[in-house]
Structure 1
C-alpha cells in the first residue's frame, strides 16, 4: 500500500508495545488478545486496515503510558480470527512517521501523525551503498549466519535499496534500541552507513571466533 494512500488528515489507531519495533518494508506477526486492541483490529479491518505501531518510552514508570515520538504506520496484510475473538495479524510497515498529538478516543488510543520519509532518493544514487551492503551479504563468513542466509534467499536486483536496508536491519539485529534509532533516522544514506558498519563488525566478530575457536550459537553467531 503506497504512502500516498494513507489519509494523514485523520487520527490513526495506535498499537503500542514495549519490545517490538516495526520498520517500513517489513512485516511482523502479532497476536491480538486484549479486548481494546481486538476492537481496534475490528475497526481497522472495517475501514482502511491502517494501524500505527509505537513503542513505550524506555524510562516509563509502570503506570506511565508515554509513547516515543516515532512510529511506523502499517497495513494489516493478513489476519485470522481465533477463538474468543482474538486475532493473528500480519502487519506490514508502510512508512516512518512522528506523533503530532494524541486524540481522545476509547477504548484504544488514536494519534495524528506526520510522515518522516526524508528526501526522495533515486535508486541510481544509492548504487555505491547497495554494492557495499551486497558484498557483505555475500561474504563467506557472514553467509554462515541463518539471518544473512534468509536475507539472501529473497534478495534480488528488483528490491529497492531502502527496502533492503530495512529488511536486513530487522532480520539481523534484535536490539530494539537500534531498531528504533533506524526507525527514527530519515536519511537513507545514514541508515545504509549504519547497516554497513554493523555487518562489518559482525564479520569481525566471526573472524575472531574462528581464530580463537570460540563457541557459536545455533545460527552460527559467535557467543561471548
Structure 2
C-alpha cells in the first residue's frame, strides 16, 4: 500500500513530472529534511533560476562519477534514486550566487534523462511514496519505539529537546519517523543513499535500526568519543 500525505499533494499540484537535476557532492537529501545551500556554480545557478520560474521543484541527486576511457574524462553516472525537493526562501546575491533551503518532499526514481542544450540535466520522475506491506513482519508501533529509544541513547543532547519530546507524543508514520531521524544524523552518503532508495518503510526502518544499534555498540566501547546529531528541523 502506497499513499501520499496531504502536504505532499499540495506540493505536487503543479508537478509536471519533469524537473531539473541538482547534483550534490557527498550529500543526500531525504524527504522531511531541510538542507541549507549556497549555490555558486554557473550551471547550478541557471538551474535554480529556471526552476524558480517554473514550479520551484528540483530532483536532488548524489553526484557520482565514473571514468570513461574513451574520452579520458569523468562522466556523471546514471541517476537512479533521487529526492524531489522544493526550493524554499531563495535569495540571489549580488554575485549571482543563490542562498536557499531545499525541502525534501518525496522519493523518486529517475526514469529518463533528457538531452538538451542546457548545462544541467533534466529528468522524468516516477514518484515513490512510502510503501507499507499489508502483512508486515514487524510490529510498527514497537519499531517506532525502538528507533526513538536507540536514537535517544546515542544522541543524549536531543533527549531534552522539546521537539524530540513532541515526536514521542504525536502520531507519526513509521516512514516519516525514519526520514526525520536519519536526516538529523551525519550519515555516510552511501548509507543515506540506501535509505533514500528504500521506499518499503519496514525495510527502511531495518536499515536505520541496524545503524543505530551498531552506533550504540561503538559508543559503549568508546564512551568518550561522543556522538552528535543535527538539530531537529523546526519546519
- TM (norm. structure 2) is 0.78
Unaligned runs of at least 5 residues, structure 2? 1-6, 230-235
Q: Which residue does the alignment assign to 1:46?
A: 53
Task: Choose from 85, 109, 128 the match for 1:98.
Answer: 109
| 2:11 counterpart of 1:2 | no
1:143 and 1:149 in contact (8 A); partners too: no
Q: Distance in 2 between matches of 1:40 and 1:162?
A: 30
* C-alpha distance 3-99 of structure 1, shift in aligned 2 (>3 A): farther
- How far off its partner does 1:54 sit? 1.0
2:219 and 2:226 in contact (8 A); partners too: no
- How far off its partner does 1:120 sit? 4.8
Task: Choose from 75, 92, 103 the match for 1:81.
Answer: 92
Q: Distance in 2 between matches of 1:121 and 1:77?
A: 33
Q: Which residue does the alignment assign to 1:216?
A: 225
Q: Which residue does the alignment assign to 1:180?
A: 193
Q: Distance in 2 between matches of 1:147 and 1:153?
A: 9
- TM (norm. structure 1) is 0.81
Unaligned runs of at least 5 residues, structure 1? none
* C-alpha distance 138-80 of structure 1, shift in aligned 2 (>3 A): same
* C-alpha distance 192-11 of structure 1, shift in aligned 2 (>3 A): same
- Deviation by residue 1:69-116 (Cα, 9 ceiling, x = unmatched): 111110012212212111111001111111111112213211111112
- How far off its partner does 1:63 sit? 2.4
SS at 1:95's partner residue?
Answer: strand
Q: Which residue does the alignment assign to 2:20?
A: 13
Q: Distance in 2 between matches of 1:133 and 1:178?
A: 16
**Runs of 4 or more off by more than 6 Å in structure 1?**
147-151
